[in-house]
C-alpha cells in the first residue's frame, strides 16, 4: 500500500519495524500534497523538513515519526499561526499549544497547518482569507467547516491524521462531509491552552482521523489535565483503545425524535436509519427519546458563542502582532486594522456578540441564552439517565456546493443544527461515516452518523463506533482524486 494511505495504527507498525520509513512516509505525503492539494487547498502551510526521525530512546513514543497535521488555530512555536485571518498574517507565536507539546512529546511531527474558516467562524471553510478548501469527494462542494482543511487533508490522504477544533460542530460536520472520523471530546477533556479562542466555554480540540481506532490513539495522546487551563478537568484519562473491538450487546442507544424531523435530507435519513439497524443487529437496544429544547440550540449558540467571540477577538488590534494598518493616529490605526483585517463573517459575529452584551440588551439576549443553555443541558441529563448513547445524523445534508450558502448566513448557521447542542451541554460527540448520498450524476458524497455520550464517557462512543465501523468498513472507500 502507498505510504500516504496509512492510518496512524499502520504507520506505527511500519515505523517501529523500519525507522527510516518515517522519512519515506514524510516524502510520500509531501508528494501527495503536490499532486492533489492544489485542487483542494487543505493546507495553508506545511513543513517537510522538520520530521523527527525516530530515536532508539523514543521507542515507546506512541506517535513516533508520524506526521500529524493541525488546524491553523493551534499555536505553534516559531511557526506562523493565522486562523485563516488576514489580521494574523505574520503572527509567529513564541510558544506551543499544550496539544502541540503533547504531540511532540509523543514523537509526532507537526507536519502541516490546515485551512479553516476565519477564526473558526463558518460551516464550509469558505471564510478563510486563503480562499476556500474543497471537498475531496467533489471539488464543487465544500468540505464543511470550520475544520474543513483538517478533514479534507485526512480524507484526501495528504495527512495521516489531524487535529481540529469544535465550537458548534466544527470537527464533526467536516468529518461527516469528507467521510472521515471526527471526535469532539467532553469540554475540559483536552487542554485549550494555545487554541486561539472562539467561544471559550464551548471550544474543544479533537482528532480527525481515517478510523475510529486512530481517533482513540490520538485522543490518548492529547487528553488530560493541564495546569495552564483552568477549565481542564482533573479526571484520569482511560486508555481509549481499550474500548475498541468490544461488542455493543446491552448498550442502550437513544434516538431523539427531534433529529429525525423536518429539514432532514431523505438520503441522510435513510443512511442513518440503516446504521441504526446495523447497531440493533449487533445487539444494541435503540429507543426513541426526546430533547425538546434542542430546537433552540442554534439561537442560544448565536448568542453565547458570538458574545464570547466578540470579546476574544478584541485583542486583534495591531498593537503587538499580526496586521497593522499604519497610521499616525491611534484611533484610526485601531479602526483601519480591524476593518481591513477581519472578513465579513468575523465582523458579523463581532457586532452580534457586542450587541447581545451591550447595556440594556444583556438580560434579554446573553443572560437568556445562558438560561436556555441550562435547559438544553438538562435535556441531555434527563435522557442520559435512560440511555448510554444518543444517535442521530451529524448534519441535515451532505456537503453543499461552494458558494451555495454564503449569501445567507442564517441558512449556513442552521446547517449546524444537530451538532451545536453537544457543545452547549459540554458532552462528547463523534461523527463517523455511515454511507454515501448518490444522485447518479455527481460523485457520491459521504454521510456522517453522530454518537453522543455522557461527559467523560468517550469510551462508550469508541465502543459503539468501533463495532459499527468494523461491521460496515466505510473507511475503505476513498475519493477519486
Of 310-329, binders to another protein (CB under 8 A) are 310-311, 314-324, 326-329
Residue 9 annotated as catalytic: no
Q: Where are the beta strands (DSSP E) in 394-453?
A: 429-437, 445-453
Q: Which of residues 362-381 bind another protein (CB under 8 A)?
A: 362, 364-375, 377
Q: In whole angstroms, what is the distance from residue 81 CA to residue 74 CA?
A: 7
Select from 228, 281, 290, 223 the least CA-distant residue to 259: 290
Residue 328 annotated as catalytic: no
C-beta of residue 44 within 8 angstroms of C-beta of residue 149: yes
Smallest gap from Cβ 449 to another protein, in A, equals 24
Q: Which residues pair with 112 in a beta bridge?
A: 46, 69
Member of 53, 265, 278, 361 binding another protein (CB under 8 A): 361
Nearer to another protein, 215 or 307 (CB): 307
Q: In whole angstroms, what is the distance from residue 42 CA to residue 156 CA?
A: 9
**C-alpha count within 13 angstroms, C-beta hemisphere, residue 312:** 20
Percentage helix, strand, coil for the chain under 3-state DSSP, each rounded to 5? 40, 15, 45
- Residue 261 near another protein by CB under 8 A: no
Binding segment for another protein (CB under 8 A), chosen from 168-176, 250-258, 272-280, 307-315, is 307-315
Judged by CB under 8 A, the number of residues near another protein is 98
Binding segment for another protein (CB under 8 A), chosen from 13-21, 23-31, 199-207, 387-395, is 199-207
Q: Where are the alpha helices (DSSP H) in 18-113?
A: 21-40, 98-105
Select from 438, 456, 455 the least CA-distant residue to 447: 438
DSSP assigned state of 83? T
Catalytic residue among 69, 123, 146, 395: 146
Q: In whole angstroms, what is the distance from residue 191 CA to residue 224 CA?
A: 7
Binding segment for another protein (CB under 8 A), chosen from 186-194, 216-224, 271-279, 392-400, is 186-194
Catalytic residue among 69, 170, 176, 421: 170
Residue 431 annotated as catalytic: no
- Residue 197 near another protein by CB under 8 A: yes
Smallest gap from Cβ 114 to another protein, in A, equals 16
Member of 111, 121, 296, 468 binding another protein (CB under 8 A): 296
Q: Which three cell numbers stand for residue 258?
A: 427531534
Length, in residues, of the chain: 481
Nearer to another protein, 177 or 193 (CB): 193
Smallest gap from Cβ 151 to another protein, in A, equals 22
Member of 162, 233, 291, 429 binding another protein (CB under 8 A): 233
Smallest gap from Cβ 335 to another protein, in A, equals 4
Nearer to another protein, 287 or 364 (CB): 364
Q: In whole angstroms, what is the distance from residue 114 CA to residue 81 CA?
A: 10
What number of helices (H) and strands (E) belong to the chain?
14, 11
C-beta of residue 245 within 8 angstroms of C-beta of residue 465: no
Nearer to another protein, 186 or 395 (CB): 186
Q: Which of residues 395-424 bind another protein (CB under 8 A)?
A: 409-410, 413, 424
Smallest gap from Cβ 226 to another protein, in A, equals 9
Nearer to another protein, 261 or 351 (CB): 351
Q: In whole angstroms, what is the distance from residue 157 CA to residue 52 CA?
A: 20
Q: In whole angstroms, what is the distance from residue 275 CA to residue 270 CA?
A: 9
CB burial of 20-49 (b: ≥16 within 10 Å; e: otherwise) equals ebbeebbebbbebbeebbeebbbbbbbbbe
Smallest gap from Cβ 127 to another protein, in A, equals 13
Q: Which of residues 325-354 bind another protein (CB under 8 A)?
A: 326-330, 332-336, 338-339, 342, 344, 347-348, 350-352, 354
C-beta of residue 462 within 8 angstroms of C-beta of residue 216: yes
Nearer to another protein, 130 or 193 (CB): 193
C-beta of residue 282 within 8 angstroms of C-beta of residue 471: yes
Nearer to another protein, 168 or 455 (CB): 455
Q: Which of residues 47-86 bind another protein (CB under 8 A)?
A: 74-75, 78, 81, 83
Member of 122, 164, 455, 479 binding another protein (CB under 8 A): 455
Q: In whole angstroms, what is the distance from residue 189 CA to residue 450 CA?
A: 19
- Residue 164 near another protein by CB under 8 A: no
Smallest gap from Cβ 368 to another protein, in A, equals 5
Q: Which of residues 84-143 bind another protein (CB under 8 A)?
A: 88, 90-95, 97
Smallest gap from Cβ 166 to another protein, in A, equals 14
Catalytic residue set: 71, 146, 170
Amino acid at each position: 500500500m502507498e505510504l500516504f494511505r496509512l492510518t496512524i495504527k499502520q504507520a506505527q507498525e511500519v515505523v517501529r519495524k523500519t525507522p527510516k520509513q518515517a522519512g519515506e512516509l514524510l516524502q510520500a505525503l509531501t508528494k501527495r500534497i503536490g499532486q492533489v492539494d492544489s485542487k483542494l487547498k487543505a493546507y495553508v502551510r506545511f513543513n517537510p523538513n522538520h520530521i523527527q526521525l525516530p530515536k532508539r530512546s523514543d521507542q515507546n513514543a506512541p506517535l513516533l515519526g508520524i506526521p500529524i497535521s493541525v488546524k491553523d488555530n493551534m499555536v505553534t512555536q516559531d511557526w506562523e499561526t493565522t486562523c485563516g485571518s488576514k489580521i494574523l498574517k505574520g503572527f509567529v507565536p513564541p510558544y506551543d499549544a499544550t496539544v502541540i507539546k503533547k504531540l511532540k512529546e509523543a514523537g509526532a511531527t507537526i507536519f502541516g497547518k490546515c485551512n479553516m474558516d476565519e477564526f473558526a467562524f463558518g460551516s464550509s471553510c469558505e471564510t478563510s482569507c486563503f480562499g476556500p478548501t474543497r471537498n475531496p469527494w467533489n471539488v464543487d462542494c465544500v468540505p464543511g467547516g470550520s475544520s474543513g482543511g483538517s478533514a479534507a487533508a485526512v480524507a484526501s490522504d495528504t495527512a495521516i491524521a489531524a487535529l481540529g477544533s469544535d465550537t458548534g460542530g466544527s470537527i464533526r460536520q467536516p468529518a461527516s462531509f469528507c467521510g472521515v472520523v471526527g471526535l469532539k471530546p467532553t469540554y475540559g477533556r483536552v487542554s485549550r491552552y494555545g487554541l486561539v479562542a472562539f467561544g471559550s466555554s464551548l471550544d474543544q480540540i479533537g482528532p480527525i482521523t481515517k478510523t475510529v481506532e486512530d481517533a482513540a490513539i490520538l485522543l490518548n495522546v492529547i487528553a488530560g489535565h493541564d495546569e495552564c487551563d483552568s477549565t481542564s478537568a482533573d479526571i484520569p484519562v482511560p486508555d481509549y483503545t481499550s474500548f475498541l473491538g468490544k461488542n455493543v450487546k446491552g448498550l442502550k442507544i437513544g434516538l431523539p425524535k427531534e433529529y429525525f424531523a423536518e429539514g432532514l435530507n431523505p438520503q441522510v435519513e435513510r443512511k442513518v436509519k440503516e446504521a441504526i439497524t446495523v447497531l440493533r443487529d449487533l445487539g444494541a437496544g435503540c429507543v426513541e427519546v426526546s430533547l425538546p429544547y434542542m430546537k433552540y440550540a442554534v439561537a442560544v449558540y448565536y448568542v453565547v458563542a458570538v458574545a464570547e467571540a466578540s470579546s476574544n477577538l478584541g485583542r486583534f488590534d495591531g498593537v503587538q502582532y499580526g496586521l497593522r494598518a499604519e497610521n499616525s493616529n491611534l484611533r484610526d490605526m485601531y479602526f483601519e486594522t480591524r476593518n481591513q483585517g477581519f472578513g465579513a463573517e468575523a465582523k458579523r459575529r463581532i457586532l452580534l456578540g457586542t450587541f447581545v452584551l451591550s447595556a440594556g440588551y444583556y438580560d434579554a439576549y446573553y443572560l437568556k441564552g445562558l438560561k436556555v443553555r441550562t435547559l438544553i443541558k438538562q435535556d441531555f441529563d434527563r435522557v442520559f439517565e435512560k440511555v448510554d448513547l444518543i444517535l442521530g445524523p451529524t448534519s441535515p445534508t451532505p456537503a453543499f456546493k461552494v458558494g451555495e450558502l454564503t449569501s445567507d448566513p442564517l441558512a449556513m448557521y442552521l446547517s449546524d443544527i444537530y451538532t451545536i447542542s453537544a457543545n452547549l451541554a459540554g458532552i462528547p460527540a463523534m461523527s463517523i461515516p455511515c454511507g454515501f448520498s448518490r444522485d447518479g450524476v455527481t460523485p457520491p458524497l459521504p454521510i456522517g452518523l453522530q454518537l453522543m455520550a455522557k461527559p467523560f464517557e468517550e469510551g462508550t462512543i469508541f465502543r459503539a463506533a468501533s463495532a459499527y465501523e468494523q461491521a460496515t468498513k466505510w473507511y475503505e472507500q476513498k475519493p477519486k482524486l
